[in-house]
Amino acid sequence: MHTQIKRRYRRLETLRQRGERLVALASDTLTGRRVVLKSDRAAYIQRELQTLLALPPGVGPELHDLVWTPEKRLVLVLEHLDGRTLAEAAPQLGAPQLPALVGGLCQKLAQLHRAGFVYADLTPSNVLLLDGSAPGVTPEVRLIDFDATLTRASDPREDEVVGGTPPFMAPEIARGWTADGRADQFSLGMLLRELFPALADDPAWSPLIERLCQRTAANRFADITAFRRALDEAFGGNCGGPEPPLFGAGPLRGRRDEREQLAELFSSALVASTASSAGEKGLVMKS
């Protein structure tokens, strides 16, 4: 889409600027809606573009457009989400809201991980709580800024994109080692320690956070869904809603028939494998 940006998007306000990164609020003169314009080094824009295209709806902002500036710089045009960052909202959040809020965040991370990505930069300013929730209802969560995501196949030593923000950065990312979704668990634990220090003395929260913050990935939970289940057990409820589906979390988004066929094939293979295993056990028992 080689649209000249000034013909369609009118910049209203600079939201963030650091180095080559510029994030601005703008008006789309064609549709009348507000959007967010984001420009950065080409490697970071490419990484965020690849991630957003692979994600299902509701994890982050919707990608509206990709345009050129007159200076030949790529700019992402993103959905404008009304809300407050977790850093801004934390002082007003009560302890009873936290299990559902953290559970909702885990759900978004699970969808990201199932699409093949590690978020790698989970900080209080990168978690957005949407406006519009009824009083007493936990706000819906969105992740923002996907320019530091890692893929499971990427080698951090050769990756031009370096993510992570101390003190939330997982040790394996800081050391340049290969990382998986457990790196985001460490960031989540550090985020909770930073924003809600009183949780360290809470008998329900303390062991969960302690395990999230283990410096060795193998000592954390098996995955973010395992942590979500532990959260459910600790607080006696379904924290954050239903778990995301095993299928449809990435490239198959919008391809319902293919997803259903794949799910049927998987179920058939699982049944056949179980029957075969049971038969082998029966033969062993008879012999």
pLDDT tens column, 132-179? 877 778 899 999 999 999 986 555 555 555 668 999 999 999 998 989
- The pLDDT value recorded for residue 242 is 74
Q: Is the pLDDT of residue 87 over 90?
A: yes
Q: Is the pLDDT of residue 270 over 90?
A: no
Q: Is the pLDDT of residue 123 over 50?
A: yes
**pLDDT digits over 238-260, tens only?**
887 777 666 555 545 555 566 56
pTM for the model stands at: 0.82
- The pLDDT value recorded for residue 158 is 58
- The pLDDT value recorded for residue 260 is 66
List the domains of the chain with CATH numbers: 5-79 (3.30.200.20), 83-235 (1.10.510.10)
- The pLDDT value recorded for residue 286 is 43
Question: How far apart, in whole angstroms, are the C-alpha atoms of residue 228 and residue 106?
Answer: 6
Overall average pLDDT of the 28-48 stretch: 94
Overall average pLDDT of the 54-61 stretch: 94
As a whole number, the mean pLDDT across the chain is 86
- The pLDDT value recorded for residue 73 is 86
pLDDT band at 38 (very low <50, low <70, confident <90, very high): very high
Overall average pLDDT of the 55-67 stretch: 94
227 with 221: CB under 8 angstroms? yes
Residue 134: partners with Cβ closer than 8 Å, 6 or more residues away? none
Single-letter code of the amino acid located at 229: R
Overall average pLDDT of the 105-113 stretch: 96
Of how many residues is the chain composed?
Answer: 287
Do β-strands 117-118 and 150-151 pair in parallel, antiparallel, or remain unpaired? antiparallel
- The pLDDT value recorded for residue 160 is 57
